């Protein structure tokens, strides 16, 4: 091993053990490990009036846009690999009025469909066809929030949950950033925005106990993503879905989600022996709705041993999504909800299912 390699290895080990030391000190101060996030108060007017714009934090046109391959309609198309920095600029720095969609397409067996082109997609806004201006299948870095249930009902699944998170990070883009929120009756910030290797050092300290504040945890995760570095933002929720301790209601949470450009992937972990009971079914239904509303996908895992495989599947899917943008033909800046419908052309009679967010609120005021 060269001296440079040894120095790099030593520096990495030092940082890892320093993170472990910090967490260990935190455990001495707090029995549950991570420090609680700010106390959850009743929803404020600021919380419920998220800026009603599609999530494009930049208004200027990216440098080099005019040099991208374009179709006859002026559509920017990216299907070949490029530098991560240019991909990120292309994705988040286009005109502020561009509606950006991250789309997954699955077949009848739930398998992810790759290889589609821009002309396979037809996008409708309030039943009016829209013209695609941006299309990319590149693997761009994303910001991911892990929302981990550590309530008492997850006690027998914690070890598998740790390994599932490890598998998810292993299959993710190396340039992704992560944070983790653990929750029982409280919502706790386990790890702030960091890389996957550092986040993994916090997982051994998870302990399951207490009630479940699922809605509060997801709400805090969405707010946390406002400070994300990347334009594409995702929450991965692993829970049995049985909320019994939240201050925020499902209605309040769903309103926030409709105003936020965040995809939520959920993994339900019901008790197989109680799966047909009302409470277990209700928990799974809630997780399904969170994913459906935001354009993510839901997976129900009947055995904790399957968690790792599902997490790897989600990580791979996020790296292969279709990123599509269009300029709305509706120029009104009225703040109204606009429904989005996406159709995919069938090939050989195959039926595809599209997973994408269901709409957005129009911007308000002057552009």
Q: What's the confidence (pLDDT) of residue 96?
A: 57
In this structure, the answer to whether residues 191 and 312 fall within a common structural domain is yes
Residue 276 lies in a domain: yes
Q: What's the confidence (pLDDT) of residue 293?
A: 94
pLDDT at residue 79 is higher than 50? no
Which among 212, 362, 349 has a CA at the least distance from the CA of 287? 212
Q: Coil, strand or helix: which one is 347?
A: coil
Residue 182 lies in a domain: yes
Residue 73 lies in a domain: yes
In this structure, the answer to whether residues 71 and 217 fall within a common structural domain is no
Q: How confident is the model at residue 92 (pLDDT cuts 50, 70, 90)?
A: very low
In this structure, the answer to whether residues 246 and 160 fall within a common structural domain is yes
The count of structural domains within the chain is 2
Residue 148's domain comprises 10-40+140-318
In this structure, the answer to whether residues 225 and 162 fall within a common structural domain is yes
Q: How confident is the model at residue 163 (pLDDT cuts 50, 70, 90)?
A: very high
Q: Coil, strand or helix: which one is 209?
A: coil
For 26-48, write each residue's pLDDT tens digit.
333 333 333 344 433 434 444 44
In this structure, the answer to whether residues 74 and 187 fall within a common structural domain is no
Between 84 and 315, the higher pLDDT residue = 315
pLDDT at residue 337 is higher than 50? yes
Q: How confident is the model at residue 84 (pLDDT cuts 50, 70, 90)?
A: low
For 174-215, write each residue's pLDDT tens digit.
999 999 999 999 999 999 999 999 999 999 989 999 999 999
Which among 149, 152, 338, 307 has a CA at the least distance from the CA of 237? 149
Whether 284 and 241 have beta carbons less than 8 Å apart is answered as yes
Q: In whole angstroms, give the CA distance from residue 311 to residue 169.
A: 9
In this structure, the answer to whether residues 165 and 183 fall within a common structural domain is yes
In which region does residue 127 sit, left (phi positive, over 0), alpha (psi from -120 to 50) or beta (all else)? left
For 300-323, write each residue's pLDDT tens digit.
998 778 899 999 999 999 999 999
């Amino acid at each position: 091993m060269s001296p440079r390699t040894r120095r790099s290895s030593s520096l990495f080990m030092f940082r890892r053990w320093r993170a472990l030391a910090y967490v260990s000190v935190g455990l001495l101060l707090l029995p549950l490990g991570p420090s609680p996030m700010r106390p959850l108060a009743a929803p404020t007017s600021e919380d419920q009036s998220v800026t009603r714009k599609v999530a494009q934090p930049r208004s200027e046109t990216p440098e080099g846009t005019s040099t991208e391959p374009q179709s006859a309609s002026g559509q920017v198309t990216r299907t070949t690999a490029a530098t991560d920095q240019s991909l990120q600029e292309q994705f988040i720095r286009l005109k502020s009025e561009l509606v950006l969609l991250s789309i997954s397409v699955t077949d009848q067996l739930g398998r992810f469909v790759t290889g589609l082109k821009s002309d396979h997609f037809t996008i409708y806004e309030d039943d009016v066809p829209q013209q695609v201006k941006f299309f990319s299948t590149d693997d761009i870095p994303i910001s991911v929030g892990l929302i981990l249930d550590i309530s008492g009902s997850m006690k027998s699944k914690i070890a598998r949950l740790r390994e599932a998170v490890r598998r998810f990070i292993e299959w993710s883009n190396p340039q992704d950033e992560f944070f983790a929120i653990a929750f029982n009756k409280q919502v706790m910030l386990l790890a702030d925005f960091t890389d996957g290797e550092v986040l993994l050092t916090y997982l051994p300290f998870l302990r399951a106990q207490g009630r479940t504040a699922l809605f509060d945890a997801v709400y805090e995760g969405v707010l946390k993503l406002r400070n994300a570095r990347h334009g594409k933002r995702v929450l991965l929720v692993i829970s049995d879905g049985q909320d019994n301790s939240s201050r925020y209601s499902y209605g309040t949470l769903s309103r926030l989600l409709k105003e936020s450009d965040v995809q939520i992937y959920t993994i339900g972990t019901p008790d197989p022996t109680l799966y047909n009971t009302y409470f277990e079914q209700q928990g799974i239904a809630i997780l399904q709705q969170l994913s459906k509303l935001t354009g993510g996908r839901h997976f129900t895992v009947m055995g904790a041993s399957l968690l790792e495989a599902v997490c790897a599947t989600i990580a791979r899917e996020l790296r292969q999504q279709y990123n599509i943008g269009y300029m709305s033909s509706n120029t009104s800046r009225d703040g109204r909800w606009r429904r989005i419908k996406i159709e995919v052309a069938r090939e050989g009679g195959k039926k595809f299912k599209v997973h994408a967010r269901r709409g957005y609120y129009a911007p308000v005021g002057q552009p």
